[in-house]
Copies of this chain bind each other. A is one copy, B any other.
Amino acid sequence: MSPALKPVAFLLGTWRGEGQGEYPTIKAFRYREEIRFAHNGKAFLIYSQRTEAIDSDQPMHAETGYLRVVGDDQVEFVIAQPIGFAEISPGRISGTRIDVESSTVGRTPTAKAVTSISRSLWVEGETLHCETRMAMEGVPMVRHLMASFHRID
């Protein structure tokens, strides 16, 4: 492992959990989620996640990208989403917590009008918590997703 990854090594592994989604424009929903942080020896984590419906196991959302470590306490999250978003989210590490906020959310011509995304990931004890907030045209930055995970690998 690259020594640069030491501050984010607490994220490494495969995590499974459940979460709840909410947003002013939709009905609240629950989901199952798997998150994976891996590395290939370079100074970034390889990130992927997918969610599925709790009742039907049908795939819901997915994301993939990289968490770059660019200083002792600084990170840059680069994330592609199949709903047409390409996100650049710089942020900070504080102990076993990471907070990032998008500087740009690129959108494909057919994607929804999301303007900003912020994310927090933190480990308390053996549990990983992930919270995602989102702003759209006409909706301020509010909580969208909140999930908790245990490490399975």
What is A's interface to B at a CB cutoff of 8 Å?
40-42, 44, 46, 48, 50, 59, 62, 64-66, 68, 70, 76, 78-82, 84-88, 90, 103-111
Q: Identify A80's interface contact among B59, B84, B86, B111, CB under 8 A.
A: B86
Residue pair B88, A42 in contact (C-beta under 8 Å): no
Residue among A41, A65, A80, A109 having the largest count of chain B Cβ atoms under 10 Å = A80
Distance in Å from the Cβ of A72 to the closest Cβ of chain B? 14
Q: Are B78 and A86 in contact (CB under 8 A)?
A: yes
CA distance A7 to B65 in the complex (A): 26
CB atoms of A64 and B82 under 8 A apart:
no
A44 and B90 alpha carbons, distance in the complex (Å): 27
